Amino acid sequence: MALLPIRHYPDPVLKQKALPVETVTEELRTLARDMAETMYAAPGVGLAAPQVGVSKRLIVLDCAGSGEPPQLITAFNPQIVASEGESYEEEGCLSVPGYYSAIHRRAQVTVRFQDMEGRSVEMTAAGLLAIAFQHEIDHLDGVLFVDHLSPLKKGFFRKKYQKILEQMKEQL
């Protein structure tokens, strides 16, 4: 397995709609395992293929709490088929390092996807897992969590993120 470089805003690949996975191949399984290793090392709770420069509809998630065993979910072609409730929680993103903001999401989602064997899976998620599914599926559609901000908050984001990028360059 290998750690993959994570693309950062404003990389153009993050704004592209990812292509569907026609068949779950060994190459895509390897990509999924590498994405999981990258997500854990970052550390994060989710990662979408476009974040590592691959325009495929593939996400990995693990929202297990500290001290809990890993609960890795690998999802090819995930889609939300039902949702309910409201959530307003602070989010961050591995592709927008150092910036966090509260985002409106659905509190519960039912998601349909293919697993590592290409089998169809449907599951209902709530809490952090529901938020993570929505966040990562947004990536597959070329949407970043900062795209959900109000115009005023987007202005604050642009100013603050410029400073974050300057600090990151200084640390290199």
Rounded distance between C-alpha atoms, residue 140 and residue 104, angstroms: 18
Concerning whether 136 is annotated as a catalytic residue, the answer is yes
Rounded distance between C-alpha atoms, residue 64 and residue 72, angstroms: 8
Sign of CA dihedral 98, 103, 108, 109: negative
Catalytic residue among 89, 117, 136, 166: 136
Q: Which of 31, 72, 37, 36 is nearest to 53 (CA)?
A: 31
Q: Give the active site residues.
A: 136
